[in-house]
Amino acid sequence: MSLTAPVPPPSAARPGRGARPRALPRPHGLRATVVVAAVMLVLIVVPYLLNHSVVGAAPVTAGQVVTLGAFRYHPAPGWQIDRGASSADMVSVLVKGATKYRLTPLGRQSSAAGALKAAARRYEATGRGRIGSDPAPVTTARGLTGLVTSITGSTVSGTLTVLVAGGQGLGVSLTARHSAPLTAAVADDVARMLDSVEVVPS
């Protein structure tokens, strides 16, 4: 008959020389949470930066009216006035994100066709795009008539509209970057701004 002495259980290793503490398990879903937070940050910050990327831009104030020669219009709230590109009575440039809205008086114009040619020459001289050759008639809510056609460029696309009233013409270009196409909300703003154009009483 043999006796076997009980074997004592191994003692827990103490952290220190030659001993490694056991790694704690990582919480489940931490990586997914970080990814979601990063995506949300990008979705919030990038549009903000785009909308505030124009140096010297100023937000449109409620009830603001801009006069351009024989015309005036109401900029839409939520847009910014590019002060560097705008000039009193000469040109008004608004920006919202990657969208640009530009109004320029064309001086004496006897017809919408003549006004479109003048506006097209001015726009194409900038090198930012070409004007379409198939314009369509347009009439605003205030009864101003004119023509609208497309703008195509390597980085932007949009429309060029001309309005003629009282022998004076107004050119209105709308462009958006290909990487950030026009949204329905911005299109509604533009339609309202175009409808707000009126002739300044003499």
Residues of the domain holding 72: 50-199
In a domain, 107, yes or no: yes
72 confidence band (pLDDT: 50, 70, 90)? very high
Domain count, the chain: 1
In a domain, 138, yes or no: yes
In a domain, 23, yes or no: no
pLDDT on residue 5: 43
What's the mean pLDDT in 23-51?
54
In a domain, 126, yes or no: yes
pLDDT on residue 100: 96
- 107-138: pLDDT as tens digits: 999 999 999 999 999 999 988 899 999 999 99
Whichever domain contains 174, its CATH number is 3.40.1000.10
Tokens of 157: 């696309």
What's the mean pLDDT in 96-115?
96
CA 3 to chain centre: 88
DSSP 130-189: EE-S--EEEE-TTS-EEEEEEEE-SSEEEEEEEEEETTEEEEEEEEEETTSPPPHHHHHH
pLDDT at 47 > cutoff 70? no
What's the mean pLDDT in 163-190?
95
CA separation for the pair 117, 147 (Å, rounded): 11
In a domain, 33, yes or no: no
pTM of structure: 0.72
What's the mean pLDDT in 33-57?
54
- 124-175: pLDDT as tens digits: 998 889 999 999 999 999 999 999 999 999 999 999 999 999 999 999 999 9
